[in-house]
Structure 1
Amino acid sequence: MEKVKASLKIPSSLDWSDPDPCKWTKVGCLDNRVTRIQIGKLNVGGTLPPELRNLSELSTFEVMNNQITGPLPSLAGLSKLQEANLHNNNFSSFPSDFFSGLTSLVHVFLDYNPFEPWEIPESVTDAKTLQTFSATGANIKGRIPGFFNFDTFSQLRVLHLAMNNLEGELPNGLAGTSIESFWVNGQRLNGTIDVIQNMSSLTEVWLHGNQFSGPLPDFSMLTGLQNLSLRDNQFTGVVPASLINLKSLFVVNLTNNELQGPTPKFADNVIVDMRAGSNRFCLDDPGVACDDRVNILLSILEPVGYPQTFADNWKGNDPCNNWLGVACAQGNIVSILFAKKGLTGTISSNFAKLTSLTTLDLSGNNLTGTIPVELTTLPKLTKLDVSNNRLYGKLPPFRQNVVLVTEGNPDIGKDKAPTPDGKSPGGSSSGGSSSGSKKSNTGTVVGSVIGGVGGLSLLALGIFLYARKGKRTSRVQSPTTVVIHPHHSGDQEGVKITVAGSSVNGGSETFSHTSSGPSDMHMVEAGNMLLLMANIQLKQDWQEHLGIWRQITGRVTTKVDVFSFGVILMEMITGRKALDETQPEESLHLVTWFRRMHLNKETFRKAIDETIQPDEETLASISTVSELAGHCCAREPYQRPDMSHVVNVLSSLAELWKPAELDTDDEFAIDYDMSLPQVLKKWQAFENSDESSSFLASTDTTQTSIPCRPSGFADSFASADAR
């Protein structure tokens, strides 16, 4: 305490003259040990000494609203500290180990200090009893850490990070937390705010002054929300009724966005900041409905996420007044021309409500799903162009005079939906049982799965493995047998999957899984089949990402496949197993360890497999893949991307991942000047060739439906050939 006294400039109002610090003003003791220092708002100057951390019984430390300068000393090890009020001073820097060992910390206030730029350190996770973390205007940089989640901070009620230099998206881990007051306003945050809809304890949300975009989420679960500030962002779409009708709402601010549809009319007791003309509402009168044509067009945009380009160009209440992509005749909409507008999502059946429509052009986008049968009811339709999308399914029965353009959709005309990566499903295009196919006579339907996945996802993975410099990470070294048998149980039909291979120590590894029926077929889709073929911690991964998931949820979905795919990416980046019992408890599970290591650049560099030795350019690519891996392994299934997004990310990096030296002697090596679909066709042609038959006859097993790996794949992928 004498060190504290010597470092601070104590005003005359504080009597700190007694030799016994327990008798000093604003200092409290218990059993002659200092437990409280409460000198806030007393015009205290000077600095805080590092010896402060030696006050091991300190539970309350208040120095807020003073003029204290210099670096903030670490309080690491003060295990009894419950409250630290440090806001409104002039501290110059924040120590990264500040929170280490603060296992009793409940409230911390760091607001309005001119710290040098700093990132929220992982050491804050030591304070699992934290209820308030407030650091507004504290010069924080980087992203909002993913460890602000319910698993780590189940008691967190206040998270104030406003007026800093944060960027990126809101972390998915916020969903399900008990946070009541959430401030992140005045920064460079972007993306959607969908995570908000699952923060059911919220009473106050300040998101204004960022770059958030997309439609507003469903607010029906936020039954206690009172104060919502969304102004000065880029939100689009219609204000949802779940917000307008929220009975708890007291203040709402929507000014300066690109919201569309009717101007919302809130209850009379709600204070509304929604300046006229600051959005894209059809009319300025609250509660007045838009023109029916406007309502239909906006409903059509809902399945594609209300793209900002339309919000920028659709103004007023008359869609025939020079609206983007809309052509009219005598006040009736006759043409919708949305070609190459970057649309992602599905085709709305509400196009059928535009009864004067003659031309509908949706070509050159990224649309999925099927063509709605409702479009066949359009009485004047003469042309429908859906070419170059990712649509599937049988064509609805249009009239003979309708020109239907569908080229560039490889799955059009097939009953089955494409696999999650957007490639063609295997098996019969009529959707019949595989038991009647040629390959089922030998007891395998591997081809129906790999045919859709191998041509694109495996190629992307193989290219990435080049950066691994041939390192072997799999515990299974020799080729593995993957056999999928038709399975009958009572009236139900499914599949039985058997996997066998030789392990490093010379032993064998064999296990099986039997599905309960056709709905279980998801388990052999993209991610899980890749998991099997890659043989990465073979049995443990299968059990952890499939069996355990079934026990918890009772079902397996494509989102489990996406999770497994993310684990594979993490394993390739780090060279570690998904579950490594040789590691300490906190590093046992790869996914949780990877999330922690990815919080900042320095720890992430240490997590990368040392054999990669990345330069800055390679590191940038690996960072992109690591972001993707984290996205795939989000805790909630709905927060994970579709495999189509995964493929888009990996494909964009394919050019950077080309090996320096190619094996040009192999006829079936990867040609990097070919597109991925072209490579797939080349492999399929090889599969049907005489040479393929000769090759298969010479192998020990005959269960494969694709040729042996092309020579363009890294050696470490050799054990990943499914036979």
Structure 2
Amino acid sequence: MLQFSFFLISIITATTVVVADNDDDSAFMLNLLNSLKPPPSGWSSDTQFCKWDDKIKCDSSNRHVTSIDLSSRNLAGTLPSNLNSLTQLTILNLQNNNFSGPLPSLANLSSLTIAYLGNNQFNAVPPAAFSGLTSLQNLSISKNDFQPWTFPSELTQSSNLNYLDFDFANINGTLPDIFNNFTSLTELHLAYNNLIGELPNSLATSSIQKLWLNNNKFGLTGSIAVIANMTQLTQVWLHVNQFTGPIPDLTQCTNLYELLLRDNHLTGLVPVSLLNNMPSLQTVSLRNNDLQGPFPVFKNKNVKFEADGRNHFCLGNKTGPCNDMVMVMLQIAGGFGYPLKLAQSWTGNDPCQGSIAGIVIIVVLFVVAVLFVSWKCCSRKRLRKFARVSNPENGKGNVKLDLARVSNGYGGVPSELQSQSSGDYSQLHGFDGGSDVNPTISIDILRQVTNDFSDDNILGRGGFGIVYKGELPDGTKIAVKRMISVASGSKGLNEFEAEISVLTKVRHRHLVALMGYCINGNERLLVYEHMPQGTLTQHLYRKSDNQSGCLRVWGSFDGTDHRVLINKEDIPKAIDQTLDPDEETMLSIYEVAELAGHCTVREPYQRPDMGHAVNVLGPLVQLWKPTTQIDEGSYGVDNQTSLAEALRRWQAHEGTSMIFSDISSSQTQTSSKSPLFAGNFDSPDCR
């Protein structure tokens, strides 16, 4: 019996030893030894693997490998495919050797933090080779001979990834929009691959400092605007691709020291902010693009800069300002994103050189067509953004009020505009957006977003007061119309009330949207969405030593500078002869030209009021009413109603409105000139 017991104990002990032997990393290490050509010095099957080399490190039990460092030892061979059986492995460094065959899968090595496999001759990446690497921080597989493959999306499981080097890795296709998952990623190297498509938007939320995407064989395309929001950038290599569009404002990238954008198709002007407001910038390459405007000159003379080759600066590589007409044309082109065809066909300092007129017209027509189709497709959806509220005057009918803009900010998200007002607005009975609407805005917020109404934020001046630009914390651009102080009392309040009432009820794609208002003592302030392309005055006027205050209309993109003509005899000369207007048509043209002269004089107080313009144009609208009407129903405008009738309806509907109260009913059918504008086309101020 005793002998049998010893026999059982021996069996159990032997079994335990066998299990333990199969549970360590010896099998893989022996396979690794046999695959290496030549085997490293000191490696032998007669020695326990943890003692082979000081570059092989094991855990305290000497049964599991934790680190393998064989870099730069001129080793060759094919690695065992079951490398991911090393469950305790934290560091794997095999770079700068001659290993060949498929890259061994690293899947599910949950302890692995560093894997350097670059500069070898691996020829394939197995599927899901990088899944389950939850502790991974640094990964490099650059400079191998991989067959074409795509960027591994399973890397999103490596949320601690800090360094990723896939240069020269033969990656094809587009980059997935997954970089918001890498909150710790500081270096992304994807140069010399076959990537195509646009830069992922998720790059904007990353912490990347060094971005290498240069020399992709087929070329990344689209805009590089996303890098403007990558505020941690220090080094940007985007050269030798197919990027288009303008260089964005990079002033948020305060640590950027190297910007390489050469050999792309970037267009437009080099941003002034890049030239003057980048304190850390050391190297900039813009060579071989399609950039326009004046040759860039950096404020910091120590910046190493190149912009030669294929660019389209107005004076070539010479410094100096461009022709004013060229700058106007570039402003127009900027509204369309600086089309590449335009940049490539336009060189020199002549706005009329090349085939430029036809290209611009094609671009304009294309954009108009796209906007028209988009409007038709989205018009019904836009209706959902409007709520119906009761008419405050008679309790009948409905008016349209954009609650999303006036009450809840953009996209239904409560805006900081919805703070309490500093003034008493309880008397504003004419504006009633319903109980849920509170478009009042705190004067403190308006002071904050306009830098206390700083002169640097002035957008324009007029008879009504001054308009300031501002920006909310969420990035929303606004324009604050600070009206000239009015005397206290009901009259000023009623006038302000009338303007708010009209602006909140009229919706049209050509009218800027009112976002809110503020009453602060005798001050009246209106807040609109900001239109970034400048004021109408800036586009209509151009200062000149000889003539000032004359309307200029940029016609047909041929550089011709048209003015409102100073006498009737010259007007027919400016009309396209293919129109062949008869006498009746010419009478209408004379009336419109005369009105244009009055409305475009330099001083605002000399211009007629809107009532006078309505009186002049109203009969002409009825006379020349088009046979086909564009449906404006979704914008709150009825084209079937004459201007005169619409005016009468507004007066009756608004009650307290003072805007049109000075227009007598006898003026609605005839065109009469205001006494302020006595004179004719022969006046010296071009009226």
Asked if structure 2 preserves the Cα contact closer than 8 Å seen for 1:259 and 1:281, the reply is yes
Q: Tell me, in whole angstroms, the C-alpha distance in 1 between the residues paired with 2:99 and 2:629.
A: 67
Asked if structure 1 preserves the Cα contact closer than 8 Å seen for 2:387 and 2:400, the reply is no
Structure 1 segment 549-564 matched on structure 2, within 5 A: none
SS in 2 for 1:113: coil
Aligned twin of 2:601: none
Whichever residue aligns with residue 225 of structure 1, its letter is: L
Q: Tell me, in whole angstroms, the C-alpha distance in 1 between the residues paired with 2:370 and 2:131.
A: 52
Displacement of 1:256: 0.9
Q: Tell me, in whole angstroms, the C-alpha distance in 1 between the residues paired with 2:49 and 2:327.
A: 72
Displacement of 1:366: 2.5
Asked if structure 1 preserves the Cα contact closer than 8 Å seen for 2:342 and 2:359, the reply is no
Relative to structure 1, is the Cα distance of residues 126 and 338 closer, same or farther in structure 2, using a 3 angstrom cutoff?
Answer: closer
Aligned twin of 1:254: 286
Asked if structure 1 preserves the Cα contact closer than 8 Å seen for 2:97 and 2:119, the reply is yes
Q: Tell me, in whole angstroms, the C-alpha distance in 1 between the residues paired with 2:106 and 2:629.
A: 60
Whether 2:329 is the aligned partner of 1:273: answer no
Aligned twin of 2:264: 233
SS in 1 for 2:313: coil
Whether 2:360 is the aligned partner of 1:307: answer no
Deviations 1:531-583 (A, max 9, x none): xxxxxxxxxxxxxxxxxxxxx999999xxxxxxxxxxxxxxxxxxxxxxxxxx
Deviations 1:119-163 (A, max 9, x none): 1222111111000111011111121111112xx111000111111
Deviations 1:641-666 (A, max 9, x none): xxxxxxxxxxxxxxxxxxxxxxxxxx
Percent sequence identity over matched residues? 39
Aligned twin of 1:402: none
Q: Tell me, in whole angstroms, the C-alpha distance in 1 between the residues paired with 2:363 and 2:291.
A: 20
Q: Tell me, in whole angstroms, the C-alpha distance in 1 between the residues paired with 2:348 and 2:360.
A: 23
SS in 1 for 2:34: helix
Aligned twin of 2:378: 421
Q: How many residues align structurally?
A: 399
Whether 2:129 is the aligned partner of 1:98: answer yes
Q: Tell me, in whole angstroms, the C-alpha distance in 2 between the residues paired with 1:490 and 1:102.
A: 65
Q: Tell me, in whole angstroms, the C-alpha distance in 1 between the residues paired with 2:360 and 2:69.
A: 66
Relative to structure 1, is the Cα distance of residues 495 and 88 closer, same or farther in structure 2, using a 3 angstrom cutoff?
Answer: farther
Q: Tell me, in whole angstroms, the C-alpha distance in 1 between the residues paired with 2:104 and 2:631.
A: 60
Deviations 1:441-474 (A, max 9, x none): 588969x99xxxxxxxxxxxxxxxxxxxxxxxxx
Structure 1 segment 284-363 matched on structure 2, within 5 A: 284-285=316-317, 287-322=319-354, 324-325=356-357, 340-343=361-364
Whichever residue aligns with residue 27 of structure 1, its letter is: I
Aligned twin of 2:488: none
Q: Tell me, in whole angstroms, the C-alpha distance in 2 between the residues paired with 1:440 and 1:64.
A: 80
Relative to structure 1, is the Cα distance of residues 215 and 154 closer, same or farther in structure 2, using a 3 angstrom cutoff?
Answer: same
Q: Tell me, in whole angstroms, the C-alpha distance in 1 between the residues paired with 2:394 and 2:367.
A: 33
Whether 2:38 is the aligned partner of 1:2: answer no
SS in 2 for 1:92: strand
Q: Tell me, in whole angstroms, the C-alpha distance in 2 between the residues paired with 1:106 and 1:148.
A: 15
Unaligned runs of 5+ in 2: 1-28, 404-424, 442-471, 478-627, 635-687
Q: Tell me, in whole angstroms, the C-alpha distance in 1 between the residues paired with 2:263 and 2:391.
A: 60
Whichever residue aligns with residue 9 of structure 1, its letter is: K
Displacement of 1:338: 6.8
Relative to structure 1, is the Cα distance of residues 34 and 204 closer, same or farther in structure 2, using a 3 angstrom cutoff?
Answer: same
SS in 2 for 1:168: coil
Whichever residue aligns with residue 198 of structure 2, its letter is: E
SS in 1 for 2:106: coil
Aligned twin of 2:215: 186
SS in 2 for 1:304: coil
**Alignment partner of 1:494 out of 425, 429, 433:** 433
What RMSD, in angstroms, separates the aligned Cα atoms of the two structures?
Answer: 4.2
Q: Which protein has the larger Cα radius of gyration, Structure 1 or Structure 2?
A: 2
Deviations 1:224-250 (A, max 9, x none): 111111111110000001212222111
Deviations 1:264-290 (A, max 9, x none): 123332222322x42001123454222
Structure 1 segment 157-556 matched on structure 2, within 5 A: 157-187=186-216, 188-245=219-276, 246-266=278-298, 267-275=300-308, 277-285=309-317, 287-322=319-354, 324-325=356-357, 340-343=361-364, 364-367=365-368, 421=378, 435-436=390-391, 441=396, 493-494=432-433, 514-517=436-439
Whether 2:40 is the aligned partner of 1:19: answer no
Asked if structure 2 preserves the Cα contact closer than 8 Å seen for 1:9 and 1:45, the reply is yes
SS in 2 for 1:309: helix
Displacement of 1:517: 4.5
Relative to structure 1, is the Cα distance of residues 309 and 555 closer, same or farther in structure 2, using a 3 angstrom cutoff?
Answer: closer
Deviations 1:391-426 (A, max 9, x none): xxxxxxxxxxxxxxxxx899xxxxxxx799368976
Displacement of 1:183: 1.0
Q: Tell me, in whole angstroms, the C-alpha distance in 1 between the residues paired with 2:202 and 2:290.
A: 27
Relative to structure 1, is the Cα distance of residues 426 and 95 closer, same or farther in structure 2, using a 3 angstrom cutoff?
Answer: closer
Displacement of 1:440: 8.3
SS in 2 for 1:213: strand
Whichever residue aligns with residue 79 of structure 1, its letter is: S
Aligned twin of 2:83: 52
Whichever residue aligns with residue 202 of structure 2, its letter is: G
For structure 1, which segment, 304-313 or 212-221, has the greater mean C-alpha deviation from structure 2 after superposition? Answer: 304-313
Structure 1 segment 668-687 matched on structure 2, within 5 A: none
Whichever residue aligns with residue 192 of structure 2, its letter is: M
Relative to structure 1, is the Cα distance of residues 211 and 124 closer, same or farther in structure 2, using a 3 angstrom cutoff?
Answer: same
Displacement of 1:107: 0.2
Displacement of 1:293: 2.3
Displacement of 1:432: 13
Whichever residue aligns with residue 120 of structure 2, its letter is: N
Relative to structure 1, is the Cα distance of residues 307 and 154 closer, same or farther in structure 2, using a 3 angstrom cutoff?
Answer: same
Unaligned runs of 5+ in 1: 326-336, 344-363, 368-387, 391-407, 411-417, 450-487, 497-513, 520-551, 558-676, 684-723
Q: Tell me, in whole angstroms, the C-alpha distance in 2 between the residues paired with 1:180 and 1:72.
A: 28
Relative to structure 1, is the Cα distance of residues 294 and 445 closer, same or farther in structure 2, using a 3 angstrom cutoff?
Answer: closer
Q: Tell me, in whole angstroms, the C-alpha distance in 2 between the residues paired with 1:39 and 1:490.
A: 82
Q: Tell me, in whole angstroms, the C-alpha distance in 2 between the residues paired with 1:257 and 1:440.
A: 62
Relative to structure 1, is the Cα distance of residues 443 and 436 closer, same or farther in structure 2, using a 3 angstrom cutoff?
Answer: closer
Deviations 1:23-56 (A, max 9, x none): 1222112211311100011111111112211111
Relative to structure 1, is the Cα distance of residues 324 and 205 closer, same or farther in structure 2, using a 3 angstrom cutoff?
Answer: same
**Alignment partner of 1:88 out of 95, 103, 119:** 119
Asked if structure 1 preserves the Cα contact closer than 8 Å seen for 2:392 and 2:432, the reply is no
Structure 1 segment 652-691 matched on structure 2, within 5 A: none
Whether 2:175 is the aligned partner of 1:144: answer yes
Aligned twin of 2:141: 110
Whether 2:155 is the aligned partner of 1:124: answer yes
Deviations 1:612-646 (A, max 9, x none): xxxxxxxxxxxxxxxxxxxxxxxxxxxxxxxxxxx
Asked if structure 2 preserves the Cα contact closer than 8 Å seen for 1:192 and 1:212, the reply is yes
SS in 2 for 1:296: helix
Q: Tell me, in whole angstroms, the C-alpha distance in 2 between the residues paired with 1:178 and 1:115.
A: 29
SS in 2 for 1:197: helix
SS in 2 for 1:201: coil
